[in-house]
Amino acid sequence: MSETVLRVTDLVKHFPVRRGPMRRTVGVLKAVDGVSLDLRAGETLGIVGESGCGKSTLARMLTAHERPTSGTVEVLGRPLHQLRGGELRRARRHVQLIFQDPSGSLDPRMTVSASVREPYDVNPDLAPRGDVDRRVRELLEVVGLNPDHGGRYPHQLSGGQRQRVGIARALALRPEVLVCDEPVSALDVSVQAQIVNLLERLRDEFGLAYVFIAHDLGVVRHLADRVAVMYLGRIVETGSQDRVYEHAAHPYTRALHAAAPAPDPALRGTGGDLLEGEPPSPIDPPRGCAFHPRCPIAVDRCAGQVPKPVELSPGHLAFCHLAADRAGV
């Protein structure tokens, strides 16, 4: 068993909802509401879910861009959110965030080289000054950019190239973990394939562990060793990739599979029943199991009690009252 690089325990993020001229707090948006997970070195954990399920807020807490309301994130055994100042900065290096839209994270007035060099300027102990130029060139090469891309500005690059710059910047800090928040969602299919291949190659070369967040089930399946499915701030099912895809136990996971169009006309209409309605607001989410108002198999107790995890096979958990009964089927 390899070492655990990232351990998340009961992570919660609540945002106050303010209204009116006095900005009074009128409610609580439960973006992330008790998430626990762990990630071992070199492993890829896929996180899937629809908009509003809290996957991006989770990503921001894992990378210390956001402070949790409660719960802990441990990076290499150190609790990230109790650290301050220089210690926090050093711990942050281990976990880096890749954004969906790299143009939002790149300074439009900085050349590609300057963007990739910035982490070295901020962290002078990372490399001796004389070494930085060489490192920047190496990083550009690692992510598949030419040396002459280094002199360009973000607007002169394609979406795929910008994403490569974002990855190069993250790699400069020699992280153990990359948290990728929808890294390929905005890209065309052919460009998406290039970035997916790049992420796989980097994993093999540098032994990186990934938290790979996406709404595209196909891409997650391609990359992930383990998958966690989120709904309204909570994980509803988690397990190895083949368990979650081939033996989904939670009705929401099944509904996601049914709704995802397979790239094969021969499979048309084989998906199963579709869900009605849309995910409810994370402000005042439903009581009990948050999925029960949309659930095709809900029973009375689903509205009253928060479901406890049911272990269907080692490491395969479903947070559903009925999962144990259905597992035998």
Query: Which stretches of the chain bind another protein, using CB under 8 A?
Result: 50-51, 158, 188-190, 192-194, 196-197, 200, 215, 217-219, 221-222, 241, 245, 255-256, 258-268, 271, 274-276, 278-279
Helices (H), the chain: 55-62, 85-92, 102-105, 112-122, 132-142, 159-171, 189-206, 217-223, 241-246, 251-259, 300-304, 323-327
Query: Measured between alpha carbons, how far is residue 118 from residues 100, 237, 325 in Å?
Result: 20, 39, 55
Closest CB to another protein among 199 and 312? 199
Closest CB to another protein among 34 and 280? 280
Closest CB to another protein among 12 and 260? 260
Closest CB to another protein among 133 and 200? 200
Closest CB to another protein among 233 and 279? 279
Q: How far is the CB of 165 from another protein (least distance, A)?
A: 16
Q: What phi and psi, each to the nearest 5 degrees, are found at residue 194?
A: -65, -45
N-term to C-term CA, the chain: 32
Q: How far is the CB of 255 from another protein (least distance, A)?
A: 6
Q: How far is the CB of 279 from another protein (least distance, A)?
A: 7
Q: How far is the CB of 225 from another protein (least distance, A)?
A: 10
Q: How many CB atoms lie within 10 A of CB 72?
A: 15
Q: How far is the CB of 20 from another protein (least distance, A)?
A: 19
What is the full DSSP assignment across 197-228? Answer: HHHHHHHHHH--EEEEEES-HHHHHHH-SEEE
Nearest to 57 by CA among 209, 222, 230: 230
Query: Measured between alpha carbons, how far is residue 201 from residues 12, 43, 163, 272 in Å?
Result: 33, 13, 15, 35
Closest CB to another protein among 101 and 200? 200
Q: How far is the CB of 251 from another protein (least distance, A)?
A: 12
